[in-house]
Structures are given as C-alpha cells and as structure tokens.
Amino acid sequence: MRHTAHGYWLEEAGPVTAAPPLAGERSADVVVIGGGYTGLWTAWQLRERGASVIVLEADVCGHGPSGRNGGFCETLWSNMPSLLERFGHERALALCEASTESVAAIGAWCEAQGVDAWFTRAGFLMASTAPAHDGVLDWILAVAPRDRVKALDGAALRARCDSPRFRRGILVPDDATVQPARLALGLRERLRDVIHERSRVLGLHHAPGEVVAETAGGRVRAGAAVLAVNAATRGIRPLRHRLSVTSSHIVLTEPVPDVLDAIRWTGGESITDARTFIHYFRTTRDGRIVFGWGGGRLAAGARLGGRIEVDAGVVDEIGRHLIAMFPALEGRAITHAWGGPIDVSPSHLPQIGTLDGAPVHYAFGFTGNGVGPSHLAGRILAALATGEPSDVGIDHEPVRVPPEPIAWAGGTLVRRAFLRKERLEEAGRPVDPLTRAVAAAPRALGIHVAR
C-alpha cells in the first residue's frame, strides 16, 4: 500500500510543473490568496467579470484538500435543517437552489472547457446504519422539497448498493462526483497566466481602498483581497475563533468490479452513512472503492499547514470499517491511503464575508463539504470583491469556537464521546448517560458537531 501525502487522485491526474513564484512588485484589481477550488473559482469568476486578478499559492494549486478529497460534488440539500435554523426558510431554500446551480455549473464548465474531471451526476445516497440514525434522515426529509430529497426504503437502497449495514436511506439526485485533482488542475491550467506558486503570503496590509499582499519574493497591490486558505484561516487573528481544524482520511481499494457487480453498486452514486463522524464512499472509473472517514483527530497548531500524514493506525481502523460495510472486500488489497485537514465551522456551514474595515473577503468552514459549495463561494466572493453587495450565504451572527486550549481539550472529549456513542448505537447497545451528556454539550453553545 502506498501512503502518500497527496493521495491517489493527483497521481492519476499526472505530474505538473510549478508556476513561477511572485517576483517584484505587481498590481491587480483583486489578489486571491490560496489556489484550491475556492481561490480558483473566485479567480475564474473575477476574470469573467473583466477584473484583473493575481492568485498567490503557498505550494502548488490543487495540491491541498482540493486535489485529494473524496470527490463528492454536493449540493446543500442535506444541510437544509441547519440552513433553516440559521437563515430561515426563504434564504435556506435560495442557498440550496444556488448550490444545485453550482453543481450543474461545474459540470457545464468541465464540458465547455474540455476538462475531463469524470463529472458524473449520479446522485448522493445517505444510508442509516443504526436505528438511532434513522432520525437524521427523517429530519432532512421533513424540511427538504420532495423533488430534491427522496426517501428510499431498505429494498430500494440496497438495489443501488447492497451493504448488510444499510437500513434505509435518502437520495439527493442533484449531487455529482468528480475526480477532484483533475478538476482542480483543470482550473489551474486555465488560469495559469495569473497564478504564482510557491508564493506563500506572509503579510496582508490594508489602507482605505487598497491591500498589499507580501510574499518572500514580492508584493501585490490590489483594490481587494480574497482569503481562500481553508484550514490555514485558523492562523488569521480576526477569524481564528470561527473555525476548528480536524482531519479526514481515505483508503482506496484495488479495482474490484466483481464486488461492485455483486453488491449492485454500478450506478456511480456517492454514499455516506448518517453518523456524526461519517463514512463516505464512492467508486472510480476503473472499479475501485474510495472509502473515507471523517473521524480524524482534532489538529493541534502544527498541522494547520495542510499536510496531515496518514498514520498506519488510522488506515488499519478505516480498513476495518470498510470490511464491516462491505464484507465481500475481505482479502482485497488497499492500494493507497491519504488524508488532509478539515476546516470545521461551528454551524457546519461555510463562512463567507468581509473583514471589518478592510477590503478583504473570505470563505472557509466548508466542514468537509467544499467541492460543490466552493463554486458558489467563488461566485459570492467575486461579487464582494468587485463591490457588488451579496447577502447570499453570509452569516451575520457567526458562532465562535471557544478559545484554546479549551477548544482542543473540549473538542477531544466530545469527539471521544461521539465515537463511543455511535459504536454503541451501531452495536444495538444502550448509550450511557455520561457519554450522551458530553456528546450533547456543544449544542448548548450553538455548535453543531453533526450536520
């Protein structure tokens, strides 16, 4: 098995040569900091609006989480309950509709630009794997329109993918999958002339109507800046209390088309269970299973840069979860494993907005769900950076995470409680009152640990 920092998708997409770093003084209408999907979609939308843009990327664009995620290109329909709670019915519905447009727009963009990112609109399934998790499906079904989220009974669910763990499910037909690295590198290639790589922004200064972004090799003067640095937002003082950083890890099987046939999983659907620390899984073009787990540890400061190495213990644990989900994979090889940071916002919803008194706009907090929503964030950020008011998706009263070390210590306790609670629930055993109380504690602070 290959444990890699960057994962299988970037390997499959093929090698790239880094763009030249920033050297000397430059100017543009907007400087975009960070070259993952959020930064690149923003740059794309800005160019479409006729604005000049420079993208500064610390490493190589698309080599962070954007090039190594699960490739679930999701709408926000399964987040409808949290959106309703946060924004009210009208805005929640508008956001979900906009997220559907974004998924469709990503597919249309790939087609128009000749980017073969394996865009497949086969829908998303959420499967309950314990009686205690059925309520998550019911919660979504109670508020989402029926043409956007459909209920599946056990037989209908298992006709699409047969796992002995599955009880019943929901289907979100608008959702798609992509080969994430091909999408990120396709965007990078089409914006190549405005990108500087190996150009970490070390300082961002602002005066009325102007920002200056500094790297080791130069400076960019611009009318506005867009911060699209994902988990590294935790290092930015005015925003650091608006997110915590955890990690997610993925294992990839050898090609197993025979198993996919046997379990009838040939339709290309992406799937998660309904746990808090979800398992997420999908297939590839050559018949492999990508199987990820969002149960990663909370990251301490040193891991904020994005390189979360895979440790063998996590891989073994995910391998066991994979076999429990699909026993027919017993004895089949896992060929690759990798992981990356997750920027968790307390509401589990992306945070998009503008810093007080500065032309600096930001988006972060995708909470492991940024592939589709980053396109929508790019649209909003491009509007903000060119001076258009935008209210879509902006959380005017964001929830904050407690200061360190309380956040880390509390988060670690809560994580353990959730893991224990879900293990007991799936085993059909009662959950003790202490575990239940610790798992419920964040809600009292307005913090969502689940969607």
Ligand X SMILES: Cc1cc2nc3c(=O)[nH]c(=O)nc-3n(C[C@H](O)[C@H](O)[C@H](O)COP(=O)(O)OP(=O)(O)OC[C@H]3O[C@@H](n4cnc5c(N)ncnc54)[C@H](O)[C@@H]3O)c2cc1C
Residues in touch with ligand X (CB under 6 A)? 33-39, 56-59, 64-66, 69-72, 74, 200-201, 228-230, 232, 248, 250, 280, 292, 306, 339-342, 366, 368-372, 374
- By beta-carbon proximity to ligand X, the closer residue of 72 and 77 is 72
Question: CB burial class (10 A; 0-12, 13-18, 19+) of residue 182?
Answer: buried
CB of 13 to ligand X, least distance (A): 14
- By beta-carbon proximity to ligand X, the closer residue of 56 and 438 is 56
CB of 130 to ligand X, least distance (A): 22
- By beta-carbon proximity to ligand X, the closer residue of 5 and 392 is 5
- By beta-carbon proximity to ligand X, the closer residue of 292 and 295 is 292
Edge-to-edge strand order for the sheet containing 124-127? Answer: 2-3, 334-344, 244-253, 289-293, 279-283, 270-273, 124-127, 169-172, 150-152
CB of 249 to ligand X, least distance (A): 6
CB of 235 to ligand X, least distance (A): 8
d(CA 413, CA 375): 34
Residues in CB range of 11: below 8 A, 6 or more apart: 4, 336
CB of 352 to ligand X, least distance (A): 11
Are 72 and 180 contacting, i.e. CB atoms less than 8 angstroms apart?
Answer: no
CB of 370 to ligand X, least distance (A): 2
Q: List the beta bridge partners of residue 66.
A: none
d(CA 34, CA 57): 5
- By beta-carbon proximity to ligand X, the closer residue of 22 and 447 is 22
- By beta-carbon proximity to ligand X, the closer residue of 128 and 177 is 177
Length of the chain: 451
Q: List the beta bridge partners of residue 341.
A: 247
Are 341 and 231 contacting, i.e. CB atoms less than 8 angstroms apart?
Answer: yes
CB of 56 to ligand X, least distance (A): 5
Tokens 């508008």 -> residue: 94
CB of 18 to ligand X, least distance (A): 12
- By beta-carbon proximity to ligand X, the closer residue of 56 and 152 is 56
Taking residue 402's Cβ as centre, other Cβ atoms within 10 Å add up to 17
Angle between helices 433-444 and 406-426 (to 10 degrees): 130
d(CA 277, CA 83): 20
Name the nearest CA neighbour of 246 among 348, 393, 136: 348
Tokens 């950020």 -> residue: 381
- By beta-carbon proximity to ligand X, the closer residue of 72 and 418 is 72
Residues in CB range of 232: below 8 A, 6 or more apart: 34, 304, 305, 306
Name the nearest CA neighbour of 93 among 72, 75, 74, 73: 75
CB of 428 to ligand X, least distance (A): 29
- By beta-carbon proximity to ligand X, the closer residue of 36 and 223 is 36
